[in-house]
């Protein structure tokens, strides 16, 4: 068997052993219930592992990942995970974590045709269109790329706030906060984009549902 692959299973045995050694009831306790305070929507990129970069333990973070951390209103997968996280698990924070150097975002800034993923990338291109004036004015490609990563995250935060799921939670007094972050692959640091939405008063009038 390929060495890297078989090593993964060895690593798992060692991790489980060491975890029990440190805390004998760790798995037993965790298997009873999950009560994560955070729901994470991140990029599928292998270099942005949700739990690891924020030092979270198993049970801390409910995770959904896709190409370029998108919140697409007709994506049943995302909506199902979001609804479970907010309505059932009652998470306190939803974090959209994008990252600089995102391949999905770079593709959206190009005319590249990849295949079926083109349809997904089109949603990212929409984010560009919403901020075309600001982005087109940035001459330096790297600076424009970085800014687009940030603006795309902000759009997804807004997309979340526009969902019935989030607005229903707010209307019931559930204090769920939606945050936008951009992670740097080169420093390992998170840039809090300071675009937190806490209630529907922060939305355009037209985006507020009568609930």
Question: What gap in Å lies between CA 43 and CA 45, rounded to an integer?
Answer: 5
Number of residues that bind Co ion (CB under 5 A): 3
Catalytic residue list contains 97: no
Q: How far is the CB of 49 from Co ion (least distance, A)?
A: 12
Q: Are 38 and 14 in contact (CB under 8 A)?
A: no
Q: How far is the CB of 149 from Co ion (least distance, A)?
A: 8
Lay out the site mask for Co ion across 95-124 (x = CB under 5 A, - = otherwise): -------x----------------------
Q: Are 29 and 85 in contact (CB under 8 A)?
A: no
Catalytic residue list contains 102: yes
Helix spans in the chain (H) = 3-22, 26-32, 50-53, 76-83, 103-108, 117-130, 132-136, 141-161, 164-171
Among 38, 40, 42, 43, binds Co ion (CB under 5 A): 43
Q: What is the SS3 assignment for 66?
A: strand
**Residue closer to Co ion, measured from CB, 89 or 109:** 109
Q: Are 67 and 104 in contact (CB under 8 A)?
A: yes
Catalytic residue list contains 43: yes
**Residue closer to Co ion, measured from CB, 43 or 166:** 43
Under the binding rule (CB under 5 A), the answer on residue 146 touching Co ion is no
Among 45, 146, 150, 155, binds Co ion (CB under 5 A): 45
Q: Are 209 and 164 in contact (CB under 8 A)?
A: yes
Active-site residue, from 17, 73, 97, 99: 99
Q: How far is the CB of 99 from Co ion (least distance, A)?
A: 6
Question: What gap in Å lies between CA 189 and CA 184, rounded to an integer?
Answer: 5
Active site residue ranges: 43, 45, 47, 99, 102
Binding residues (CB under 5 A) for Co ion: these are: 43, 45, 102
């Amino acid at each position: 068997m390929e060495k890297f692959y078989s090593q993964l299973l060895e690593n798992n045995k060692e991790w489980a052993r060491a975890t029990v050694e440190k805390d004998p009831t760790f798995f037993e306790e965790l298997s009873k219930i999950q009560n994560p305070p955070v729901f994470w929507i991140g990029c599928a990129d292998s270099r942005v592992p949700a739990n690891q970069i924020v030092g979270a333990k198993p049970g801390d973070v409910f995770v959904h990942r896709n190409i370029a951390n998108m919140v697409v209103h007709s994506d049943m997968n995302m909506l199902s995970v979001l609804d479970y996280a907010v309505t059932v698990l009652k998470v306190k924070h939803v974090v959209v974590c994008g990252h600089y150097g995102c391949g999905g975002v770079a593709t959206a800034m190009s005319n590249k045709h990849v295949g079926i993923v083109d349809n997904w990338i089109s949603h990212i291109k929409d984010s560009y269109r919403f901020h075309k004036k600001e982005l087109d004015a940035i001459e330096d490609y790297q600076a424009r790329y970085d800014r687009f990563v940030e603006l795309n995250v902000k759009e997804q935060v807004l997309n979340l706030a526009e969902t019935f799921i989030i607005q229903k939670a707010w209307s019931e007094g559930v204090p769920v906060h939606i945050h936008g972050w951009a992670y740097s692959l080169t420093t390992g640091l998170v840039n809090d984009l300071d675009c937190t939405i806490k209630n529907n008063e922060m939305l355009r009038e037209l985006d507020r549902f009568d609930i």
